[in-house]
Structure 1
Amino acid sequence: MSVEPSANRSIGKAAAAIAGAASRYWRAPATRADADAVLFSVKSFAAAMLAYYIALRIGLPKPFWAIVTVYIVSQTSAGASLSRGVYRFAGTLIGAVATVAIVPNFVNDPIACSAVLACWIGFCLFFSLLDRTPRAYAFVLAGYTASLIGFPSVQDPGAIFDTASVRVQQILIGILCAVLVHRYVLPKHMTGQFTVKLSAMLRDVRRLAGDALNGTPGANRSERNQLAADLLALQGFATHLPYDAAPVTPDAKKLQLLHDRLARLLPLATEIEDRIHFLGAEGDNPPIELIAFLGDVGIWIATVEATARENAAVHLIARARSLQRHFSAEAATPGDRLAANLAGHLAEMIGLLQDCDRLGRNVATADRSREAASLHGALRATGYVYHRDPWMAGRAALGAIVGILIGCALWVWSAWPEGGTAISIFGVCCALFGNVDAPVPNVIKYLVGSFYGVAISLAYSFVILPQVTDFAVLVAVLAPAFLFAGSLQARPSTTFMALGITLTIPILSGLGANYTGDFAQSLNTITALFAATGFGVVSMSLFQTIPVDAAINRLLRLSRRDVSRRALGGLPDEAHWRSLMIDRTALLLPRLRVSNQDDLDVLDDTLHHLRIGQAVGQLRTAIPQVKGDIGDKVSELLSTIAARFSAGSLTGSVDHIGFDRRIETLAAMIAVSSMKDRSRMLDLLIDLRFALASSGTADGGCSS
């Protein structure tokens, strides 16, 4: 039988359509996320069962702690799993040693022992909040472990050393199994995720620079703010890279250099945008050569081919410097001085974009000397700078201590036999969930997961496990619950609920060498679990929750205080200042989503603080080279700005026209003086004027 050619073509088209649809389905982000979650769940379950088997073979009591460890350590990438495992083991060891040191020394005074344990947990929480890097997990686990081991041992301290020793062994087994499986079985490398994120950021920053040339203030506010959040996310990836198993990982020094340039580009794009807008709005007909140059820069930014961009960048920088010298030599009008300032900023922007291209292409290579020689600007790398607030960290730590002490008092007053278990669970909640402004929603998610975990555990303990007599069958019957919970754990929105399941089932089911189902004991443990988490919701609401508006206002107040410090000569490192303010912007973004404040206005304030702080810091550094009356007037201007931005109210009125006039007077004096660095001082005053103007009356700005 023969088939007509037209029928063959129809079949071929149908097959191609089906294949295309299948390809699009598998490439879809949602499908890939589901596949990654399933793979993570299977690997985590395999690691958990391996750890459980080893703990059983060794004969460790309560081998289910090895399962719990696997699910706490496991992350969706190999590098993050290893780093988390390393810090978990370090924290567990420190916490176990601290507990062994505390409990026996207060054996005759359970109340004092509980108070010291509470202070230790608060101390660990304080430093975990200050650190803000993956290292913070070690502090979390140091407090977590002390709570789990210490409180149940307060009334039976004799076995504290054995308990701590066994716990460390179980956790080490769980860590090793989790790390080995996630590292060597279909590993998902952090380096790949980092590279994708970096490529997207480099495209975004070029688009941000291109949009700035339009001279439309505020047109790219959301993209600019997102870049700050992306820099924090990129740093989160970068901290795990040393632990990644990829053949080649990005060089840490180059990552710091790249971050410094991206951080400078964020305010620089806004500075260029303001100057272009001002030149156009004044109607003074900007110089033709400057307009032509802006068009060429826009074409260069839009160029896709990397080699073409590289070749053209050198010529564009030379043209920008030539224009800067030309307008500086003329300097007959404020417009000439502004054109010279704009040309200098454009040269800097082109150089920074070229550096980002080079570093982005060669970030994983080892040849640092040749790469460094080709970069523009400073080569001393600062890297990402984290905002740290000891006052807020201390407030959260004190709240945890107060909550634990109240719980201990209720335990002693009621003489509840399971009180030690309940307080140990509550201490874990304080350590594990206390690293955010509002921990209660996460505790509630964990509590919801625990309800599911308890229901599943009771079914296992008294219906399924009594029928199991073989390890392979045990693995098979545990698989459905753990695979489902593991897939939930891989998704950020359900991670805490999944932990409520994966941490509850092994403990309540009593997964040991032999079946030991005890309904009364299970009921007591369940009661302790829900009493502890319920009390945790109340206590953490009262003592560890920071209202979102209070957190936002504190960040803004600290930024204003630091502007004042820079005006007086403090915080002199410019790269450090920029990175610190970008980190504060990234911290504001998630808070603003749940606050009643205007997110764009608040984020604009932060960028204004960044720019003003940079301008006043540069002027303060230049004062020693300025002699006579001019130097005194510059110093007086900076002192006035410092007083305006000193810690206090977030808003207020100021004679911004007066600031503008003072800057104009200073610029006129410098323009006719014989100063050696006259052009540099004029540029700094222009930068200050635009920075203050952008901040408006709320920040004491001036009108340009």
Structure 2
Amino acid sequence: MTRTCPAARQALTNFLRQPARKEDADAILFSAKSFAAAMLAYYVSLRIGLPKPFWAIVTVYIVSQTSAGASLSRGVYRFAGTFVGAIATVAIVPNFVNDPIVCCMILAGWIGRCLFLSLLDRTPRAYAFVLAGYTTSLIGFPSVLDPGAVFDTASLRVQEICIGILCAVLIHRYVWPKPMTGLFTGKLSAMLQDARRLASVALTASSEENRQRREQLAVDLLMLQGLATHLPYDSASARPRRETLQLIHDRLARLLPLTSEIEDRVRSLNIERVATVDELTALIIDVGGWIAVEKPDDQHAEAARLIRRARSIQKRLGPDATMPADRVGANLAGHLAEMIGLLNDCDKLSQSMTASGRVRKAAALHGPELAKGYVYHRDPWMAARAALGAMVSILGGCAFWIWSAWPDGGTAVSILGVCCTLFGNVDTPVPFVVKYIVGSIFGVLISLVYSFVILPHVTNFAVLVAVLAPAFLFAGSLQARAPTAFMAMGITLTIPILSGLGTSYTGDFAASLNMAIALFVAVGFAAVSMSIFQTVPVDVSINRLLHLSRRDVGRRALGGAPNEARWTSLMIDRTALLLPRLRAARKAYADVVDDTLRLLRIGHVAGQLRKMVPQLKGEARAAIDGLLTEIAAHFRGRRPTTPAVLIDFDQRIERLTAMMEHCSPKSRLRIFDLLIDLRFALGASGAAGKGALPHDH
């Protein structure tokens, strides 16, 4: 027994530590805490006499998240959205109720505007706009039949929701809390390790392996930014500082295209002769060794030595380089120095994430001194398209309601408005609506069993909690898992309302049946209308992102959008947006991610060259200005990419390089570097057939 028990305990521990078992345990804990919060909110609502306490239960399941910080932030956003939506409803319905068509148009317009703002925000804060929209839908349309009670309805709804928010926040924050900070720092540490591996593989010019790493880094940066939004609300005492996280992001964002540039140079120098090829090779080997060693004692000192070596090679090759390969070697040495500095900065910053003092600036860091942070891609035209589609869907539902004089039409339209706002933030909302419908079917069946079989025999609150536990605990565990979250919402949002969890048992079968019919009609109509008016084909979405990226390259070539860090972060966000759409498009757009990163590099170099134009005079200035103007015309005009275009760009860069021989040494070296960067970014290095300009698909 003494030998068997420790072995059994160890086996049980290993079993529970498996990722699948840990996920199950987290889901069960989340479900239990959410159910406890829901019952607490229900009890409090009953005690203070609120007429529809089931809204407090619904709120708990909408607000609850797997981490304490996310639950609090979501609760804050929900309260703000609910409060604003209630005010808007009180302002709209009484003033326009005598003209139903105008009232419906104004309500639909408000809901569409809220959806538009949520799509432009693209942060977790967008949830406040979503709530402002569908709170108006939930209160406004049913209140059209009783406009005199709209203020009381809105006031009570805000109270019920506030109780649900408060109970959810208290339980998730103080009962076995799961802090966001630990999850965030763990993912950040893993991402920094992936970034070092990305840099290491770049030194071998293995582009196929690094393509996947760059794609993953773009997605991780977007995911990490979403998590970081919840950190100020987290329960952990020591949280990463916002400025530090922004500085880390800026360096990782620059590292992503930089590794692609280094790959191109290493691949080029493998087939060409360089005067100091042995010295460069030794430097590359030593940099790879420094990257591979995890946190040595003299890590920062070794990084400084490697940077000095790289700058020394760059200075020796740069001024007197007569062969193109030597210039590429000097350019590569400069990029290696920059990459080492970025990686070393990330290590320094990650070690001081929770430091109380200010982050050390340029004296200690090699990257940009001022933090910029993540930049979201925002497309007002696509947001307006989705908002207009939602308005058309809601107005279509209102037209059917008015034409048919359906008594429960207001309830159906209110549910339709919720669907249009809740699912309107994705290109193809119908699959999510279908999952919600499936969950609602289970929710209706369970509700009918509760309403007419179980609840009539319940005599006190403790028994009620016991009989509700199986359904809510099961649905809560499903809600904790991403694949079944929307189906679970169909269960948890349907049972409290349809079961009649009010102040007393009613058991009205006709009312329950009418509510179920209104629910399925509304959700079914939402699926049909959203497939017509709010669905964006994947081809349209991909080509829209590519078009905007090409347009912005042209703007930078002409001197617009001069902020380098902002440009880099914006293009990385667009890359992260492209990836799930490319998976949906399968193999039709195999090279789009590479094209987008190439556009990032072209825009980066074009913007820096444009800044150099005022420092030049005469023929060189006119030539660079003409090259940038031609680049802008090519990308903004969607001109087709042909071998002749590549050859023309290559020849113009060659002529510019010859002109720079007569410029001042300081300007000459910098422009040499930028012209080499531009040549590689355009795909015009070597022969024209080696690369291709990004094109519209």
Same fold flag (TM > 0.5): yes
Q: Secondary structure at the match of 1:368?
A: coil
Q: What's the CA shift string for 1:240-294, capped at 9, x where partnerless?
A: 0000010100000011010000000000011011101101122557521111111
Residue identity matched to 1:113: C
The answer as to 2:689 corresponding to 1:699 is no
Report deviation, 1:55: 0.4
Partner of 2:444: 454
Name the count of aligned residue pairs: 691
User: SS at the partner of 2:205?
Assistant: coil
Instruction: Write the distance in 2 (CA, Å) between the matches of 1:16 and 1:608.
Output: 57
Q: Which amino acid aligns with 1:519?
A: F
1:535 — aligned with what?
A: 525
8 A contact 1:553–1:650 mirrored in 2: no
Distance 2:282 2:128 in 1: 56
Q: Determine the structure 2 residue equivalent to 1:364.
A: 354
Given that 1:224 and 1:266 are in contact with CA atoms closer than 8 Å, whether structure 2 keeps it comes out as: yes
Residue of structure 1 equivalent to 2:633: 643
1:595 equivalent in alignment to 2:585: yes
The aligned amino acid for 2:246 is: Q
Shift of 1:301: 0.5
Evaluate the alpha carbon distance shift between residue 209 and residue 142 of structure 1 in structure 2; reply closer, same or farther with a 3 A threshold.
Answer: same
Question: What secondary structure, in the 3-state scheme, does the structure 2 residue paired with 1:699 have?
Answer: coil
Please name the residue that 1:291 is paired with: 281
Distance in 2 of aligned mates of 1:306 and 1:606:
36
The residue matched to 1:299 in structure 2 has which SS? helix
Q: Is the 8 A contact 2:68 2:173 kept in 1?
A: yes
Match of 1:65 among 55, 78, 94: 55
What displacement does 1:179 show?
A: 0.5
Which residue of 1 is the match for residue 404 of structure 2?
414
Q: Which of 73, 76, 100 is residue 83 of structure 1 equivalent to?
A: 73
How far is the alpha carbon of 1:362 from its aligned partner?
1.2
Equivalent residue for 2:657, pick from 660, 663, 667: 667
Name the structure 2 match of 1:3. none
Look up the match of 2:136.
Answer: 146
Asked whether the equivalents of residues 652 and 700 of structure 1 are also in contact (C-alpha less than 8 Å), the reply is no
**How far is the alpha carbon of 1:336 from its aligned partner?**
1.8
CA change 1:650–1:23 in 2 (3 A) is: farther
Q: Percent identity?
A: 67
Q: Which residue in 2 is equivalent to 1:570?
A: 560
Matched, 1:308 2:298: yes
Query: Which runs of 5 or more structure 2 residues have no equivalent in the other structure?
Result: 685-689
Q: CA deviation at 1:654?
A: 4.8
Give the aligned partner of residue 690 of structure 1. 680
Kindly indicate whether residue 19 of structure 2 is the aligned counterpart of residue 24 of structure 1. Answer: no
Partner of 1:38: 28
Deviation at 1:369, TM superposition (A): 4.5
- Residue by residue over 1:602-637, the C-alpha shift from the partner in whole angstroms, topping out at 9 and shown as x without a partner, is 110110010001010110111111111001000000
- For residue 632 of structure 1, what is the aligned residue in structure 2? 622
* 135-144 vs 692-701, which moves further: 692-701
Aligned twin of 2:383: 393
Alpha-carbon separation, structure 2, partners of 1:199 and 1:422: 48
| 1:663 positional shift | 0.4
Question: Does structure 2 conserve the Cα–Cα contact (< 8 Å) formed by 1:692 and 1:700?
Answer: no
- Provide the residue aligned with 1:74 in structure 2: 64
Q: TM-score, normalised by structure 2?
A: 0.97
* Preserved CA contact (<8 Å) 2:683 2:693: no
Task: Give the corresponding residue for 1:580.
Answer: 570
Offset from partner CA, 1:343-367 (integer Å, 9 cap, x none): 1111110000000001111112121
TM-score by length of 1: 0.96
Residue in 1 that maps onto 2:540: 550
In structure 1, what is the equivalent of residue 687 of structure 2?
Answer: none
TM-aligned CA distance change 1:654 to 1:251, over 3 Å? farther
Residues 498 and 515, structure 2, Cα contact 8 Å, conserved in 1: yes
Q: 2 CA distance for matches of 1:92 and 1:643?
A: 48
Quote how far apart the aligned CAs of 1:600 are. 4.3
Q: Which residue among 615, 634, 651 is the counterpart of 2:605?
A: 615
Deviation at 1:655, TM superposition (A): 1.9
Distance across 1 between alignment mates of 2:644 and 2:15: 59
Give the Cα separation in 2 of the matches to 1:115 and 1:356.
52
Cα distance in 2 for residues equivalent to 1:646 and 1:130: 24
Aligned equivalent of 2:196: 206
| Per-residue Cα deviation, 1:540-598 (whole angstroms, up to 9, x for no partner) | 00000001111011111111111111111111100000000000011011111111444
Q: Which residue of 2 aligns with 1:423?
A: 413
Tell me the amino acid that sits aligned with residue 24 of structure 1.
N
Q: Would the alpha carbon gap of residues 668 and 653 (structure 1) be closer, same or farther in structure 2, given more than 3 Å must change? A: closer
User: Does the 8 Å contact 1:202/1:356 carry over to 2?
Assistant: yes
- Displacement after TM superposition at 1:219 (Å): 3.1
Aligned partners of 2:251 and 2:367 also within 8 Å: no
> 1:699 is matched by which residue type in structure 2?
P
**Partner in structure 2 of residue 484 of structure 1:** 474
The one-letter amino acid paired with 1:403 is S
Q: Cα deviation per residue 1:302-330 (whole Å; 9 max; x = unaligned)?
A: 11134332221111111111111111132
Aligned mate of 1:354, from 339, 344, 360? 344
Q: CA RMSD in A?
A: 1.6
| 8 A Cα contact 1:92 1:141, kept in partner | yes
* 2:274–2:326 contact (8 Å) kept in structure 1: no
One-letter code aligned to 1:451: I
Quick one: which of 292, 312, 316 aligns to 1:322? 312
Query: Which residue does the alignment assign to 1:559?
Result: 549
Pair 1:232 & 2:227 matched: no
Alignment partner, residue 252 of structure 2: 262
SS at match of 2:208: coil
Secondary structure of 2:319's match?
A: helix
Amino acid at match of 2:569: S
The answer to whether the 8 Å contact 2:273/2:325 transfers is no
Listed as ranges, the gaps of 5+ residues in structure 1 are 1-7
Distance 1:21 1:600, change over 3 A: farther
| 2:453 pairs with 1:463 | yes
In structure 1, C-alpha distance between the alignment counterparts of 2:544 and 2:276, rounded to whole Å = 42
Q: 1:59 to 1:606 in 2, by over 3 A?
A: same
